[in-house]
Structure 1
Amino acid sequence: MAVPMEGIFNADRDCPAYVSKNKQTNPDGAHINTGKAYPVIEANKPDAADWYRLRLPMADPPERWVSRDCGRAQASAGPEPVAGRCDLAGQADAYVLALSWQPAFCELKAGKPECRDAGPAAYAARNFSLHGLWPTKASCGQDYGFCGEVKQPKREFCDYPPVALDAATQAVLAQVMPGTASCLERHEWHKHGTCQTAWSSDAYFALAADLTRQFNGSGIADFLAPRIGRTVRTEDFLARLDTDLGTGARDRIRLNCERGMLVEVHLNLPPKLEPGARLESLLRLAGRNSGSNCGSSFRLDPMGP
């Protein structure tokens, strides 16, 4: 009988990674590589296990069975070592949805590929854009990350391994995440996406995109549209959050400004997210984490020079 397990599997040789260990099905030819370490999420029995279920972030589905003959499994020594680790998948106790105001981002980083041809007709010119959906762990905060094969940030986002995404997901991200022009989705998956165990890369980004659209569609984008290029009172924006996303929403959303411009909003979300859930309901279940460095007002930058 399979049992949950927390730890690391160190691969001593290349081996296939099966969706079903009994049928030895491996539809995408996934395998583990010599010298790599993989998070263990399950063993096929409590003692003298023959098989370990690992998380391979590039596989679909990412949960795969590998024979014990392929390496060495090391269980976490107990709650204290696990609590001290910030790179083990499945330890999140909350999520943060990070959304960017792309015109302000491009004002600060005009040389980015996604900013060079950005025009006022683009979706990102009048709606918040997806930065990322971040699993967080209380003892690590937003430093919780890199739970897969990639353990360190890369100098450039395009230096990360590509993320396998179907055509539909790529099309959605092209609209709501302009940063895909700079391979932002690679960074977000390898740093944050690998730390959750519920979804494939496609499902993870589909959920993040849906939450982004819900935020914009709640009425926030309509509130901001006539104010683009103008100064907005912070209190007016916070009050609108409560109106559109439910009383108390403002207590679960942080605002980040730079050079007097609103740059990002961070929404606190609960540890269990279900695809199709309403953002308003999720905010009600989330812990409080509000705040702002914007002062009494901020500028809502327009797209373009």
Structure 2
Amino acid sequence: MFHSRLHSFSRLVISLTLAAGLALLAGGANAQDKRQNAPGEFDFYVLSLSWSPSFCEEAAERGGRSQIQCGGRPFAFVVHGLWPQYENGFPEYCQRPAPRLNRSIVSSMLDLMPAPGLIFNEWDKHGTCSGLADRSYFETIRKARAAIKIPAEYLDLSQAKTLAPAEVEEAFIKANPGLSNAAVSVTCNRTRLSEVRICLSKDLQFRACDENERRTCRRDQVTMPPIRGG
């Protein structure tokens, strides 16, 4: 009788544990946006501008480099991507396999995104979530980039510059009327400035976004390596 009761108790514990686990999984699923990975169903964009000299120094340290981006042409801020976002979280890879990207589009974007591999990846991971055809998506990237004025002090940076991330934010705010601290953030690695990320509505107007702020650089100072080439 004792062994029978012990067996029944053990089964009850296992059942309750499984139920708790399923509830936890359900809670995690509910934490995601219900539109998860539905093309065209998102709240706003993040335009991510990468400081190319930082990327190239990191690539050199890893023993490799992008021949176009890190060659002779003096790239400053380049477009990393235009990313559809939810108020919490973001979609990705919304079509598998992604529609084939026309190579003429890739060629046309190299002035803003100087690496073919980056362009293909951004289309597969983020562009397919925009709900736009490939050409329209990359036209939207070009419009978004054209809407942002890069601060003059970063257009021809000939010497390394060490500064607080907040200084970079303020420079962008000063150069772009209507942009606020709530719509822009700076990311970094251990020592260098990596990216400036700006939140835009679907019609490419500045807008606040808490999601962006959660990924901002927390370091007191970062370095901006000088622009390469000439």
Q: Deviations over 1:76-127 (max 9, x none)?
A: xxxx7x94452221220111111111111111123133468523x43x2x3x
Higher relative contact order (CA 8 A, sep 6+): 2
Aligned Cα root-mean-square deviation (Å) = 2.9
1:254-293 correspondence to structure 2 within 5 Å: 254-270=185-201, 272-273=202-203, 282-283=205-206, 285-288=207-210, 289-290=212-213, 292-293=216-217
Question: 2:65: which partner in 1?
Answer: 112
1:171-190 correspondence to structure 2 within 5 Å: 171-180=107-116, 183-190=117-124
One-letter amino acid of the structure 1 residue matched with residue 213 of structure 2: S
Question: 1:203: which partner in 2?
Answer: 136
Q: Deviations over 1:191-246 (max 9, x none)?
A: 1111122x32112112212322442xx242x1223464121233332222221112
Question: 2:165: which partner in 1?
Answer: 234
Higher helix share: 2
1:264 shift after superposition: 0.9
Task: Check 1:135–1:115 CA distance in 2 against 1; reply closer, same or farther (3 A cut).
Answer: same
List gaps (5 residues or longer) in structure 1.
1-79, 151-159
List gaps (5 residues or longer) in structure 2.
1-29
Are 2:40 and 1:90 equivalent residues in the alignment? yes
Task: Check 1:114–1:248 CA distance in 2 against 1; reply closer, same or farther (3 A cut).
Answer: same
How many corresponding residue pairs? 194
Structure 2 Cα separation of the partners of residues 265 and 219 of structure 1: 10
Task: Check 1:232–1:104 CA distance in 2 against 1; reply closer, same or farther (3 A cut).
Answer: same
1:261 shift after superposition: 0.7
Give the counterpart of 1:132 among 81, 104, 107: 81
Question: 2:9: which partner in 1?
Answer: none
CA contact under 8 A between 1:146 and 1:195: conserved in structure 2? Answer: yes
1:287 shift after superposition: 3.3
Give the counterpart of 1:101 among 23, 40, 51: 51
Task: Check 1:212–1:231 CA distance in 2 against 1; reply closer, same or farther (3 A cut).
Answer: same
Question: 1:145: which partner in 2?
Answer: 92
One-letter amino acid of the structure 2 residue matched with residue 187 of structure 1: N
Q: Deviations over 1:28-83 (max 9, x none)?
A: xxxxxxxxxxxxxxxxxxxxxxxxxxxxxxxxxxxxxxxxxxxxxxxxxxxx7x94
Question: 2:101: which partner in 1?
Answer: 163
